[in-house]
Amino acid sequence: MSFAAVDVIRAKRDKGVLSDEQIDWVVAAYTRGEVADEQMSALAMAILLNGMTPGEIARWTAAMIASGERLDLSKVGRPTVDKHSTGGVGDKITLPLTPLVAACGAAVPQLSGRGLGHTGGTLDKLEAIRGFGTRLSNEEFTEQLRSIGAAICAAGDGLAPADRKLYALRDVTGTVEAIPLIASSIMSKKIAEGTSALILDVKFGSGAFMREVADARELARTMVELGKAHGVTTVALLTDMEVPLGRAVGHSVEVEESLEVLAGGGPQDVVTLTLALAREMLDAVGLDADPQDAIASGRAMDSWRALVRAQGGDPDAPLPVANEVETITAAADGFVSGLDAYAVGVAAWRLGAGRARKEDPVSTSAGIILHRKPGEPVHAGDVIMELRAEDAAKLPAALEVARGAVTLAEAPPAKRPLILDRIS
Ligand code: URA
């Protein structure tokens, strides 16, 4: 069935409900290049302003999946379970979590992305490891899941091509922040990837996509429903991203912190979230293993080393270190009362860890070490933050925004829960 694109746009502009046929047609015709970018951007804006019903979101997601291939992971020989985070600052959880869950008997098919804006991307972090390759063919991906139970790589071109095209368009037309479009974008890729279960880490707060808890909750509910409708066991945790996760923000520094977690140490918040997500993932596929045991016994670290080697990396190679360092110190005695995740993310970006356009290179060694986090005491002169760059010229602009990230007070702030809710 064929439609005029302008009629589909008008229907959504006038707050109508699109029919299944209209949705199937517009997504397929846009992917083929028969609906123009300006028409799809008008439709995306109408969706952002007027929303979609649950039925429309489900159909839109199905149409995006149908625009490409769907991987078959049934030959992997272990239950498959993935995790997706909506992104944040210092969010390196995929790095310790993937080998940890693999060490507990599951297969973790992680198709990951790169950072854009103030948030970091898993693939950029992994590329701090000498030799690590992030492009696998579908056959290599499936074989690695079968042999070692873990793979972290970029999504192939055949997976949800409608999303790749639409996401790039939304990025430049102010239409990224539409919950129906975010939910269908994330879930179409995860469902097409072929995982049997999915745990979502939906973040809220200054460093997250969704600043408000209510928006994050609606996004989480929408994605959980989409997963279930497609036969994927899906659970979401709502987690705090007002403050960066852990003490490291950047690529090589986050790999280093992930290794600390796999070795049984690491910052408390990173450990807590890694274990909570691991338990959810194992529960979702009915595996009765204790992730804490997998860390204590060294099996999780062995699994990490196997993953790095399988993708061409050298787990023993030293990580790159940036030589240009500046610090931010406390002006008075007291407590750190706030550490704004967005500002820390922007500072890391200015140090060279982020990119302005998708094709830009990143500095793998640039980053920030957080010596103090909210609730911790400081004395005048103590280092709160350490900024590292390859290029000294990048330090002043990063310092300016990083200074604004920190607030001090005479008393410690109220504790914020890291995991606010679970939605299933
Ligand atoms: N991540 C995605 O993959 N898609 C979105 O729309 C937003 C975040």
User: Would you say residue 383 has pLDDT above 90?
Assistant: yes
Q: Domain for residue 183, yes or no?
A: yes
Residues enclosing ligand 1, CB less than 6 A? Answer: 167, 176, 181-182, 185-186
Q: By the 8 A CB rule, do 47 and 182 touch?
A: no
For the question of residue 84 being annotated catalytic, the response is: yes
Average pLDDT for the chain: 96
Shared-domain flag, residues 347 and 306: no
If one counts the domains in the chain, the total is 3
Q: For 88, how many CA atoms within 13 A lie in the half-sphere containing its CB?
A: 32
**Nearest-atom index, ligand 1, CA of 170:** 6
**Residue located nearest, by CA, to atom 3 of ligand 1:** 186
Shared-domain flag, residues 136 and 10: no
Best mutation site among 52, 65, 86, 167 for ligand 1 pocket (most ligand atoms within 8 Å of CB): 167
Distance of CA 10 to the CA centre of its chain: 34
Q: Which whole number is the average pLDDT over 419-424?
A: 98
**Residue 171 — very low, low, confident or very high, per pLDDT cuts 50/70/90?**
confident
**Residue 110 — very low, low, confident or very high, per pLDDT cuts 50/70/90?**
very high
Q: Which whole number is the average pLDDT over 92-105?
A: 98
Q: Domain for residue 67, yes or no?
A: no
Shared-domain flag, residues 210 and 162: yes
- Please pick, among 12, 59, 83, 84, the residue that the annotation labels catalytic: 84
Shared-domain flag, residues 342 and 301: no
Residue 115 has what pLDDT?
Answer: 77
Q: Domain for residue 56, yes or no?
A: no
- Please pick, among 82, 91, 124, 163, the residue that the annotation labels catalytic: 163
Taking the C-alpha atoms of residue 229 and residue 242, their distance in angstroms, rounded to an integer, is: 32
Q: For 389, how many CA atoms within 13 A lie in the half-sphere containing its CB?
A: 19
CATH number at residue 380: 3.90.1170.30
Which of 237-272 are b and which e, b meaning 16 or more Cβ less than 10 Å from the residue's Cβ? Answer: bbbbbbbbbbbbbbbbbbbbbbbbbbeeebbebbbe
Residue 356 has what pLDDT?
Answer: 76
Shared-domain flag, residues 124 and 266: yes
**Residue 335 — very low, low, confident or very high, per pLDDT cuts 50/70/90?**
very high
User: Would you say residue 116 has pLDDT above 70?
Assistant: no
Query: What are the backbone dihedrals phi and psi of residue 46, each rounded to the nearest 5 degrees, phi first?
Result: -65, -35
**Residue 126 — very low, low, confident or very high, per pLDDT cuts 50/70/90?**
very high
Q: Which domain holds residue 46?
A: 5-51
**Residue 398 — very low, low, confident or very high, per pLDDT cuts 50/70/90?**
very high
Q: Domain for residue 249, yes or no?
A: yes
User: Would you say residue 73 has pLDDT above 80?
Assistant: yes
Within 10 angstroms of residue 411's Cβ, the number of other Cβ atoms is 8
User: Would you say residue 359 has pLDDT above 80?
Assistant: no
Shared-domain flag, residues 98 and 149: yes
Structure tokens at 102: 């693999």
Q: Domain for residue 111, yes or no?
A: yes
